Amino acid sequence: MFTSLASDLSTLKDESANYSQKGLKMRIKHLIWGEILKSVSRLRVDQWAQSRVLSTKPLQMSTKPFSYHRREFLESCLSKEFNPQKIRKVSACIVSSIQEIDLLPLSTGAILDTQETSTEGYFFVAPRDQMEQIRRVIPSEYQLIADEELLATKLQKYIDGTFPKWRRGWIKQQILKILAAQRLNPYGTLLVDADTILLKPQIWLSTEGKQNLQTSIEYHLPYQEHYERFMTIHSHEADLMTCRPQISFVTHHQLMQPDILSSLFGAGDESFEAGLESWLKCIDFSRSDSPACEWHTYGTFLATNFPTRVHLTQWRNIGISRNAILERGGKQIMNASLNEVMAEHNEVNSVSLHHYINP
């Protein structure tokens, strides 16, 4: 079980001159903790872990998220795969622009190569005037849809007239993802950020409507506070709850089901677009530069209101600099093939090439 740990400790011993005594102890603790996290899934306590992850408390009670290490541990206890008896294929979609054009061959190709068993129908949403450039770099299997076909003029005007200019594109992409998931496939759409590369096959939806859902290790309280403001002002049905989970769902890819989205945004007599406008009105940039998240909104609503339709699996994602160099072959990851990235990172489900990660 700890063969890799022994090898790492041996290497660390050889390099110990480069560490202070305190730093060396911290490094050893980190290696041991990492090995524990790799091993706990063998205990087959995934049902217990799911019940703990999905546990909530009423908003009236002071509820803090699980500690970082507890979130790490619980996620590592979850099952690695979702294996329903019968699967329902879903669509896949990326919403992006030419700003990420260098990443698109990898992220679009990875969906086709790794999610073939669970997906059919591939879509790419982008501004109309950028579609020709994007078509040149993505696989022909993708159907291009213009932003303008999905986003109502009223919502576009609200975004342009309300939010800081440097954040409008980010907010707009969140709304476009939700609209795409609502309209593209009656059963569900796997949404993937353009900077995220899926490396392992996964099943996303069963014929009974139970879906694969993943949780993230990081926790950003403003996302939860925004969700709670929205749930408070939105005219939801009496049997829908606003509870605070102790984890987050910001996983950079996620299956969204239209009927869940309808319950979330189209409750009562309010139209779906009006629900989205209410969601936008709850965004408060005076509280945070990153005050709202579509992933967290959907995941929290699904987990707290439809827990029987959730099967939690390990996220197993790592963030990598776009300037990272692969150890095998020495290529910059942006210039590597999908097979080369898979070979380099064969222990994870996905990698995210976030622009804000330094080399």
Summarised one tens digit per residue, pLDDT across range 240-252 is: 667 788 899 999 9
User: Do residues 30 and 153 share a domain?
Assistant: no
Residue 94 and residue 39 share a domain: no
Predicted pLDDT of residue 346: 94
Q: How confident is the model at residue 328 (pLDDT cuts 50, 70, 90)?
A: confident
* Region at 255 (left for phi over 0; alpha for psi -120 to 50; beta for the rest): beta
**Same domain membership, residue 307 and residue 178:** yes
282 and 176 in a common domain: yes
Are both 36 and 137 inside the same structural domain?
A: no
Residue 99 domain-assigned (yes or no): yes
Contacts of residue 111, Cβ cutoff 8 Å, sequence gap at least 6: 92, 94, 119, 122, 190, 192, 198
Q: Which of 33-47, 68-82, 99-113, 124-138 has the lowest mean pLDDT?
A: 33-47
Residue 238 in domain: yes
238 confidence band (pLDDT: 50, 70, 90): low
Span 262-277, pLDDT tens digits: 999 987 667 899 999 9
Whether residue 308 sits in one domain with residue 160: yes
Together in a domain, 14 and 142: no
Answer whether residue 353 is part of any domain: no
Q: Please compute the mean of the pLDDT values over residues 136-149 and round it to a whole number.
A: 98
CA distance 76 to 314: 6
Q: Does 309 score more than 90 pLDDT?
A: yes
| Distance, CA of 105 to CA of 136 (rounded, Å) | 10
pLDDT of 121 reads 97
- Taking CA atoms, 188 is separated from 115, 183, 249, 294, 330, in Å, by 14, 9, 17, 15, 39
pLDDT at 8 over 60: no
Q: What is the pLDDT of residues 338-359, one digit of tens each?
A: 999 999 999 999 999 998 898 7
> Helix, strand or coil for residue 127?
coil
Shared-domain flag, residues 131 and 230: yes
Residue 186 included in any domain: yes
Q: Is the dihedral of CA 96, 212, 198, 326 positive or negative?
A: positive
Same domain, 169 and 287: yes
What pLDDT does 66 receive? 86
How many whole angstroms separate alpha carbon 119 and alpha carbon 320?
26
Give pLDDT, residue 11. 58
From CA 168, how far away is CA 179, in angstroms rounded?
Answer: 16
| pTM for the whole structure | 0.89
**pLDDT(12) > 90:** no
| Average pLDDT rounded to a whole number, residues 153-164 | 96
Amino acid at 164: P
CB of 199 closer than 8 Å to CB of 350: yes
pLDDT at 45 over 60: yes
Is residue 63 a part of any domain in this protein? no
| Domain assignment of residue 273, given as a range | 90-317
144 and 237 part of one domain: yes
DSSP structure string for 173-236: HHHHHHHHHHHS-SS-EEEE-TTEEE-S----BBTTS-EEEE-BS---HHHHHHHHHHHHHS--
* 146 & 14 share domain: no
Query: pLDDT for 179-228, tens place per residue?
Result: 999 999 999 999 999 999 999 999 999 999 999 999 998 999 999 999 99
Same domain, 13 and 114: no
* CATH number for position 252: 3.90.550
Mean of per-residue pLDDT scores for the chain: 89
Q: How many domains does the chain have?
A: 2
User: Which residues is 93 bridged to in the sheet?
Assistant: 123, 191
User: In which residue are the tokens 């984890």 written?
Assistant: 247
- How many Cα atoms within 13 Å fall on the side-chain side of residue 345? 23
**DSSP per position, 276-301:** HHHHHHT--TTT-SS---HHHHHHHH
| Any domain includes 107 | yes
